[in-house]
Amino acid sequence: MFDLVLGTNNAKKLIELRLLLPEDRIRLTSLAEIEGSIDVDETGATFTENAALKATVQAVHLGRWVLAEDSGLTVDALRGEPGVYSARYAGTHGDDNANNDKLLAALEAVPDDKRDAKFNCYLCLSDPEGNVRLEANGTCGGRIARSRSGGAGFGYDPLFVIPEYHRTFGELDLTVKRALSHRSRALRRFVPQLLRLIDSL
């Protein structure tokens, strides 16, 4: 059994990842379950840089394998904002309501056909010495609605419309979301590489 630390305290991300990783091969632990884990400053200018920072710094601190991810929303009409600031777009980290309000205000004058957006997920695996061993990314395209809809998910999910379904991530069944999400797409690329790496150790 390969012992892997997920470099986040976000319980919802942990649930998503546990559903996608083979539980007979990988034991996944979150930072919330580890005494002495640290908060890593996300000072990178890109999702890739932040994922690498969170993985390598935490791995060296804990002396364990760490899988970190950085994800966020990029909106075409806002020249890629909120981007790496997605979780703290309105100022306070993790204030979903304030972040959604700010996004709606920023797009108020933008017509429906110009509200294209993308969810991005970048994964990084670090060994206990702080070496990046694997990286993968995934994206999911959609558009920003004019008001929230649906209570499922978190973050910008109630505003992110999947055009093919005419529903937001906040309305979609978790099974459908898992098939479509940026995190799922990144993990589908990542997991086969991880299993090959485990076999080679």
Catalytic position from the list 24, 39, 70, 112:
70
- Quote the DSSP letter at residue 82: B
Specify the residue for token string 């559903």. 19
Whether residue 102 is annotated as binding a ligand: the answer is: no
Was 54 annotated as part of a binding site?
no
* Residue 114 is labelled as binding a ligand: no
Closest CA to 7 of 23, 28, 25, 31: 31
Q: According to the annotation, is 8 in a ligand binding site?
A: yes
* Residue 70 appears among annotated catalytic residues: yes
70 marked as part of a ligand binding site: yes
Tokens coding 105: 């205000």
Token pair, residue 62, equals 């804990």
101 is in an annotated binding site: no
Whether the CB-CB separation of 58 and 4 falls below 8 Å is answered with no
Taking the C-alpha atoms of residue 107 and residue 114, their distance in angstroms, rounded to an integer, is 9
Distance CA 53, CA 161 (A): 31
C-alpha distances in angstroms, 19 versus 51, 104, 113? 21, 32, 34
Question: 157 a known binding residue?
Answer: yes
Q: Is 127 annotated as a binding residue?
A: no
89 is in an annotated binding site: no
Residues making up the annotated binding site for substrate are 8-13, 71, 154-157, 177, 182-183
Residues making up the annotated binding site are: 8-13, 41, 70-71, 154-157, 177, 182-183
Binding-site residues for Mg(2+) sit at 41, 70
Residues classed as catalytic: 70
